[in-house]
Amino acid sequence: MVKTISTSAIRDLLELTEQPHVISLAGGLPNPATFPVAAIAEATANVLAADPGQALQYGPTEGHRPLRAWVADQLDAAVEQVTITSGSQQAIDLVTRVLVDPGDAVVLADPGYVGALQTFRTHGARLVGIGSDRHGLRVDDLAELLHDGLRPALVYVVSSFDNPTGATLSARRRIALAELAEAHGFWIVDDDPYGELRWSGTSPTALRRLTSRTITLGSTSKVLCPGLRVGWAMAPASITKAIVAHKQAADLHTSALSQSVAHRLLGDPAFLATHLDLLRTTYRAQAGALVAALTTHLGDRIELTAPHGGMFLWARILDPSDNPVDADRLLPRALDSGTAFVPGSAFSVQATLPGTVRLSFATAGIDDLDEAARRLAEACERGGAG
């Protein structure tokens, strides 16, 4: 039987936003100007000179051992707990294969990360969306559902600088979530591709430090570049064994060349510190410019929280009578004006999210961000009462 996979609304939309005159805030891509091209070229040459037989050969399914050791060290874990995956998207898929049977409940924030939604749906999970606010998932709402008998196989969170909301799960909610995982026996899948992109404030304690019922996912996509396709899953040893079995069936292993290059770069503390600094400085300036531009051009017709990291800004746009606009209908008008965003509805699990939009500040230049906000305001004006 051919399983149907619903086309991603975002992918359809990205096609329209690729026209050259559109300044897009819709994409979820990191800024290509930050890609460490010269360092990758040098690392690749060094890898090929040092051990071409290893870098170009088949490798172990669980991953290149030095890279696994680097990840384990970062996460205070044992090497045996780490599997290198083809991006963290594959890690989400493998963890779902291991932990979720068709019909099992999977809890996630509503709105939620579209890639995870697709994976969970593909595997027949019963999705349970829980509302979120600027402190992340409403763990109190989850507690109520658990009290009423909900027994999820896993709870998926993007604990730092969530996609799409940009929210970071607060320290208090992390503790509460960890306690619920212990009490009810579910797994927390903490997908953390954005945590290193913090330019102000301090990170709350990681979920993995609060409960051993956490599986932590990471990625080089937002820290180096997505093209390497290197991510990882850190899980208890028994789950790691099952992840590795599924990975072997899926693709034998992640590219040995990519893993070796990633290890050279991540394992070089001087390079990594300088590069993270560049990313944080770049995204901080872009986020600041977008917040300023939106405030200038939309004034009190937009509600937003200034980000402290990540790549996304979640906002609510109001019409002149202070009612939320219809963001789905605003989008074609925004495209006419030469800008684009992703309407909140694209991330919905089951909630209606009136007036909400995800704006990415990662790819547009500072001047373009101001112009994009001006065009968005123009589209709002043309929409009248929305």
Ligand X SMILES: Cc1ncc(COP(=O)(O)O)c(C=O)c1O
What residues make contact with ligand X under the rule CB under 6 A? 28, 87-89, 113, 115, 158, 163, 191, 193, 219, 221, 226, 231
Of the pair 83, 221, the CB lying nearest ligand X is at 221
Q: Tell me the closest approach of the beta carbon of residue 357 to ligand X, in angstroms.
A: 17
Pairwise CA distance, residues 24 & 96, whole Å: 32
CB of 262 to ligand X, least distance (A): 11
For ligand X, which is the closer residue by CB, 63 or 231? 231
Can you point out the beta strands (E) in the chain? 23-24, 82-85, 105-110, 126-133, 136-137, 154-157, 187-191, 214-219, 231-234, 302-304, 312-317, 339-340, 342-343, 356-360
Q: Strands 136-137 and 126-133, how do they pair?
A: antiparallel
Asked whether 355 and 6 are in contact (CB, 8 A), the reply is no
Rank residues 221 and 260 by Cβ distance to ligand X and give the closer one: 221
Separation between Cα atoms, residue 353 and residue 305, nearest integer Å: 16
Cβ closest to ligand X, residue 191 vs residue 196: 191
Of the pair 157, 302, the CB lying nearest ligand X is at 157
Are 115 and 92 a contacting pair, CB within 8 Å? Answer: yes
Distance CA 49, CA 117 (A): 42
At its nearest, how many Å lie between ligand X and the CB of residue 324? Answer: 25
For residue 112 the two structure tokens come to 């939620």
Closer CB to ligand X, 36 or 87, in the complex: 87
- The helix/strand count (H/E) of the chain reads as 14, 14
What's the closest the beta carbon of residue 337 comes to ligand X, in angstroms? 26
Residue 331 CB, shortest distance to ligand X, in Å, is: 20
Neighbours of 161 (CB within 10 A): 25
Using Cβ positions, the residue closest to ligand X within the complex turns out to be 87
Closer Cβ to ligand X, 190 or 370, answer by number:
190
Residue with Cβ nearer ligand X (167 or 380): 167
CA atoms of 199 and 167, how far apart (whole Å): 14
Q: How far is the CB of 93 from ligand X (least distance, A)?
A: 10
Q: How far is the CB of 113 from ligand X (least distance, A)?
A: 4
Q: How far is the CB of 299 from ligand X (least distance, A)?
A: 30
Q: Which of 310, 290, 327, 288 is nearest to 165 (CA)?
A: 310
At 226, list the tokens.
Answer: 């997505």
